[in-house]
Amino acid sequence: MEANGARGELDHPGRVPLLEELHARPAPRFGAPALVLHLALAQPAAAAVRDRGDDERQLRALISATADALDGARHHVFRRGPWEVTWESHTEFTSYTAVRPEPDAGNGSGFPSTDPFAGDAADVFPPEWEAADPATRVAAVAVAVLPLPSTPEQVVERVSAWLDPGSTLITRVLGGAAVLAGDFRADRQGYTRFVLFVPPDIGPGRVGRTVQRVVELETYRSLAMLGFVESQQLGTRLTAIDPQLLHLVSQLDEPEQPGEQLLHELLSVTAELEGLAMAHDFRFGATAAYAAIVDDRLSGLAEERFLGRQTLREFLARRYLPAIRTVTSLEERLGRMLERAGRAADLLRTKVDVERAAQNQSLLHSMDARAETQLQLQHTVEGLSVVAISYYALGLLGYLLAPVVEEAGISKVWLMAALAPLVILGTWLGMRRVRARIHDQARTPPHS
């Protein structure tokens, strides 16, 4: 016990979950004949941030499991009649994969070999159970696993009887050891159908992994194309915004157009583009990730051509890849429009700054002119103040010196004439000293 505790202290907290992740979602093991039904269910909105408790409640409604048995689980295996069902929780969806090994043909029971899709999916996934939950189907796949016929012609004959001849593809997989056929059409129960023919020397583990690749390929193909649906709406909006952006950019060099008004309009367009980028960022990233998974599952099938027919990769290249390229091109287009709007906003800010600098320069010239006028008025007022102060000061001196003048026999007029220059000079010097002290106090910063 002490050794286990010491070893636990040495491990990084994420080591055990990472080791468990390597063994998560194991592929089922079964041989031919068998039928596999796969459901991928997702919330119609904000699936990535959904309440995972809703997923567990939906699962418990199907298997009547207790909460303790599923608390926090991302993977659960249970039986429902003859079906072995595997439930998995993913980022945006939950999946249910049901496997039912079929008895050999001719024993009078089980799945008729003449129609491998004749079974009723409602036996394992009741419609009322699906309807009771807001999660909707992202993918519904049925894969019939059958023994490989002795000749290619028998493969074509059987597939033509079970699938839509007009859209059926047949390809060799597993390096030519097995044959996969599908029509990407929904049957009456809503399942897209595939048939996997395997030889007897392929073990149940390899059969299970191949079927898992097929259902995951179809599931992630559907999820990747969700981005195409959203991109169509985005493309319509970008087409409407593009001429607005072009019109605003074309007015950058128009001198009569006020820069601040253009900048306000451009910022409004840029804000809308940023909002679109944020709203579609997750879907763009998810589409790229799902497309990479689809390509990985295609590579894992190791396709080879069957009787000159198109392969699964070629089928998807004509129908699926253009949709993914559309999503990618719209993501790039949105990024380019944001870059153009950003550059135009920078240019407009420069234009606004230049206009404001010119306005500030004009304002400074106007302020200088007003300051010069005020200075002249100030000098005029100071001159008048000197005269007025001198006049009153001379009058006061006349009254003060009147007795002395009379005793001395000096004429008051000549005395006032002699004192006038001295009084005016003294007043002028006093005014200059007061003005100098005021200027010194204005230049001295206040003490804290």
* Residues 221/225/226/232 CA torsion (nearest 10 deg): 180
Specify the pLDDT at position 109: 37
> Final residue of a domain: which of 302, 331, 362?
362
List, in sequence order, every beta strand (DSSP E) within 148-188.
Answer: 169-173, 178-186
Question: E strands of 81-164, at which residues?
Answer: 83-89, 94-101, 136-147
Q: Which of 183, 171, 184, 166 minimizes the C-alpha distance to 210?
A: 171
* 8 Å CB contact between 199 and 262: no
3-state helix, strand, coil in the chain (%, to 5): 60, 15, 25
Based on the fold, state whether residues 391 and 257 are members of the same structural domain: no
pLDDT confidence of residue 173:
93
Does residue 215 belong to any structural domain of this protein?
no
Q: Within this chain, do residues 39 and 153 fall inside the same structural domain, yes or no?
A: yes
Q: Which of 362, 384, 410 is the last residue of a domain?
A: 362
- 188 assigned to some structural domain: yes
155: exposed, middle or buried (Cβ count in 10 Å: 0-12, 13-18, 19+): buried
Q: Are 33 and 119 part of one and the same domain?
A: yes
Q: Flag whether 317 is in a domain.
A: yes
Same domain membership, residue 377 and residue 355: no
pLDDT, tens digit only, all 448 positions of the chain: 444 555 556 777 766 666 665 556 677 888 889 999 999 998 888 777 777 788 888 888 888 665 556 666 778 888 888 999 999 888 889 999 999 987 654 444 334 456 788 777 888 999 999 888 888 899 999 999 999 998 999 999 889 888 888 888 999 999 899 999 998 888 888 899 999 999 998 999 999 999 999 999 999 999 998 888 888 888 888 888 888 888 877 776 666 666 677 777 878 888 888 888 888 888 888 899 999 999 999 999 999 999 888 888 988 888 888 989 989 998 898 888 888 888 877 777 776 776 677 777 777 777 777 777 776 776 676 666 777 777 777 777 777 777 777 777 677 677 777 777 877 777 777 777 777 777 677 666 665 4
3 state DSSP class of 194: strand
d(CA 221, CA 173): 18
Q: What separation in angstroms does the CA of 148 have from each of 131, 267, 385?
A: 37, 64, 121
Q: Does residue 292 belong to any structural domain of this protein? A: yes
Domain that holds residue 290: 225-362
Beta strands at 136-147 and 192-198: parallel, antiparallel or unpaired? parallel
420 and 290 housed in the same domain: no
My answer on whether 179 and 262 are in the same domain is no
Between strands 178-186 and 192-198, the pairing is antiparallel
Vertex 209: Cα angle to 206 and 213 (nearest 5): 140
Complete edge-to-edge strand list for the sheet that includes strand 192-198: 75-80, 83-89, 94-101, 34-42, 136-147, 192-198, 178-186, 169-173, 304-305
Contact 81, 173 (CB under 8 A): no
Q: Are 428 and 292 contained in the same domain?
A: no
Same domain, 165 and 185: yes
- State whether residue 350 is helix, strand or coil: helix
Q: Where are the beta strands (DSSP E) in 304-435?
A: 304-305
Say if 3 falls within a structural domain. Answer: no
Q: Is 377 found in the same domain as 296?
A: no
All residues at 6 or more sequence positions from 100 whose CB lies less than 8 Å from its CB, including other chains? 34, 35, 36, 82, 83, 84, 111, 119, 124
Residues 271 and 299 in one domain: yes
Longest C-alpha distance within the chain, in Å? 162
Look at the pTM and tell me if it is higher than 0.75: no
Selection from 62, 124, 125, 50 nearest residue 90 by Cα: 50
At 1 the pLDDT is 45
- Domain assignment present for 130: yes
Query: What are the tokens at 55?
Result: 């997923």
Of 362, 380, 406, the one marking the end of a domain is 362
- Claim to verify: residue 204 and residue 71 sit in the same structural domain: yes
Is 5 within the bounds of a domain? no
287-346: pLDDT as tens digits: 999 999 999 999 999 999 998 888 889 888 888 889 899 899 988 988 888 888 888 777
| Residue 80, beta-bridge partner list | 83
Neighbours of 364 (CB within 10 A): 10
Per-residue HEC secondary structure of 207-275 comes to HHHHHHHHHHHHHHHHHHHHHHHHHHHHHHHHHHHHHHHHHHHHCCCCCCCCHHHHHHHHHHHHHHHHH
What pLDDT score was predicted for residue 248?
A: 78
C-alpha 57, offset from chain centre: 30
The number of domains in the chain is 3
User: Is 267 a member of any domain?
Assistant: yes
Q: Are residues 203 and 57 in the same domain?
A: yes
Cβ atoms of residues 327 and 231 within 8 Å:
yes
